[in-house]
Amino acid sequence: MSDNSLRLVWVYPDLLSTYGDQGNALVVERRARQRGLDVQRVDVRSDQPIPTSGDIYLIGGGEDRPQRLAAERLLRDGGLERAVSNGAIVFSVCAGYQILGKEFVNDQGQRQEGLGLLDVVTVRGEGERCVGDVLADIDPRLGLPQLTGFENHQGVTHLGPTAKPFARVSMGRGNGTGDGTEGAYNDTVFGTYMHGPVMARNPQIADLLLKLALDVNALPAIDDRWYEALRAERIATATQPA
């Protein structure tokens, strides 16, 4: 990318955009424009090829059947893997997170191949569905404040040796494995179960992606009072006694 432009790709909004996850694309786009970047946003439907020249790719959550269809089409297309090889940043939520792993269980109860961009495997949980507010402390290496979000998933995601936990929950169930981990990431690919939209609640995540895409250590400051008020309200609501 050039110093003042950004190509933002929203992957399969017709299949993967539950719980307002498209809001993540809006937040990244707005925060980039507030820093003076020229943003080209590309919404790629499931009947279109994935462009390989994007800087940031966003993938949302979806129901079980659309998730299966999305995984099949992404595997056939191969564009997202090529984009990652070119240095692109990918951020995924819930069903999108599972698709980026090595394997997940589809709507037919069968093990389905994922893209293998994250060293994780997802199985179907036998207990209660993971539903509710999430508070999580992000990996200290990423340098962000406490995260807030909302989870709603049946999957249990196990991390392999090359995947790092995106965060650790103090409220909620995260990956559902009982070890407190939430999401996973490697150098350029991120996955989480947090909806919200998670970047509206935690705009610092959007800034993290922008810094990685721009290869800079800091971004110009912008007015975050609205976001901080929303974040404080969500944390207060999650922690107040029932």
Statement: residue 28 has pLDDT above 90: yes
List, for residues 85-94, the tens digit of each pLDDT value.
999 999 999 9
Task: Pick the closest to residue 55 from 16, 96, 84, 14 (CA basis).
Answer: 84
pLDDT above 60 for 75: yes
Please give the residue range of the domain that contains residue 48. 5-239
CA pair distance 199, 24, nearest whole angstrom: 5
In this predicted model, what pLDDT tens digit does every residue of 103-130 receive, in sequence order?
999 999 999 999 999 999 999 998 889 9
- What is the rounded distance in angstroms from the CA atom of residue 38 to the CA atom of residue 36? 7
Of 6-15, 25-34, 124-133, 170-179, give the lowest mean pLDDT range. 124-133
Whether residue 3 is predicted with pLDDT greater than 80 in this model: the reply is: no
pLDDT score at 19: 84
Band of the pLDDT at 242, cuts 50, 70, 90? low
* pLDDT over 60 at 12, yes or no: yes
Please give the backbone phi and psi of residue 9, each rounded to the nearest 5 degrees, phi first: -115, 120
How many angstroms separate the CA atoms of 239 and 186, rounded?
A: 30
Give the C-alpha separation, 197 to 19, whole Å.
7
pTM: 0.95
The predicted pLDDT at position 2 comes to: 57
Say how many domains are in the chain: 1
**pLDDT of residue 1 exceeding 70:** no
- Point out the catalytic residue in the list 94, 130, 153, 158: 94
- Residue among 220, 222, 214, 217 at smallest CA distance from 3: 214
Check if 195 is active-site. yes
* 179-228: pLDDT as tens digits: 999 999 999 999 999 999 999 999 999 999 999 999 999 999 999 998 88
Distance between CA atoms of 178 and 102, rounded to whole angstroms? 20
CATH (domain of 68): 3.40.50.880
CB 76 within 8 A of CB 113: no
- Under 8 Å between Cβ of 192 and 182: yes
pLDDT category of residue 18 using cuts at 50, 70 and 90: confident
- Catalytic one of 130, 153, 158, 195: 195
Query: DSSP string of 192-232?
Result: E--BS-HHHH-HHHHHHHHHHHHT-S-------HHHHHHHH
Residue 94 falls in the annotated catalytic set:
yes
Residue 127: predicted pLDDT: 85
